Amino acid sequence: MKLEKKPHKEVGSYISALMRTYFGKGPTSVHVTLSPPFITIHFRGFITPMEKFLLQQNEERRVLETRDMLMDNMKEEVVQELKNISKLELNEIYSDWNLEQKTGIVIGVFDGDVDKSTLEWPDEVSEEKFQDKLIKANILSEKAPEELETYWLDNRTILVRRSNFLLPIEKELIKRGHVEELKRAKWQLEQKVLGNIEFEPILKRLISETFLDWDFERDLGYIVFILKPNNSYAETSD
């Protein structure tokens, strides 16, 4: 079920206002992709003066921890408002940030099954080959996931859902309460591995950014690839 444009604008305006309330500053632009049961909200130009100062002091971890804490506080309000706008029940929320690029993403999963017929991949892109590359990346950073699902949400957003991929040592670290340390280490490792995999020739598009988040208790993780317009790849190939 594709939703009309109005909810996209409503969600974008609402999230911008909410972030101004919680962070003291909103993003300069917001792009909402609403393809039930998934929603992604991509921010650009988002960094506060205090965060800028902390980053100059090499306090990246402090910035990320503060953002995670504020996002946790926002969740209940976001769930209720997105239900009002989309008439859908939001079950899961994830987020990730690229402090260097001043960008970020919120990933939401609504109640309901996936209708893959509404999330079709372009004819020129092989979903199977893309999944093969993702499995290779997972093996290099942890182990192959038992389940891997890939969704073409729109021409600038690919969402990946994977489950049962954590190593025994990672599960033990989680059990001992080292969740934040594991998350930071996995983020750095997986960003590096994904950056070295040649996805673009398969996608026929350039990748602008990659975002990651996990639910370690459920051994579940999401990846979002933000793509540049497909003519960008054609121009670099000439």
At 171-228, the pLDDT tens digits run 999 999 999 999 999 999 999 999 999 999 999 999 999 999 999 999 999 999 999 9
Identify the sign of the CA torsion 191, 78, 220, 127. negative
The C-alpha torsion from 42 through 46 and 51 to 52, rounded to 10°, is: 130
- Matching residue, tokens 């909410």: 18
At 31-46, the pLDDT tens digits run 999 998 999 999 999 9
For residue 2, the model assigns a pLDDT of: 45
At 122-145, the pLDDT tens digits run 999 999 999 999 999 999 999 999
pLDDT band at 237 (very low <50, low <70, confident <90, very high): low
Given 110, 130, 154, which residue is the final one in a domain? 110
- Identity (one letter) of the amino acid at 92? E
192 domain-assigned: yes
Number of domains present in the structure of the chain? 2
- Identity (one letter) of the amino acid at 13? S
115 domain-assigned: no
Count other Cβ atoms within 10 Å, centred on residue 69.
10
Residue 168, domain CATH: 3.30.980
**Do 163 and 188 form a contact (C-beta atoms < 8 A)?**
no
Given 110, 142, 165, which residue is the final one in a domain? 110
Given 92, 110, 128, which residue is the final one in a domain? 110
Domain that holds residue 185: 120-237
**Residues 47 and 148 both lie in one domain:** no
**Residues 18 and 81 both lie in one domain:** yes
**Do 158 and 205 form a contact (C-beta atoms < 8 A)?**
no
Which one, of 48, 216, 230, 227, lies nearest residue 123 by Cα?
Answer: 230
148 domain-assigned: yes
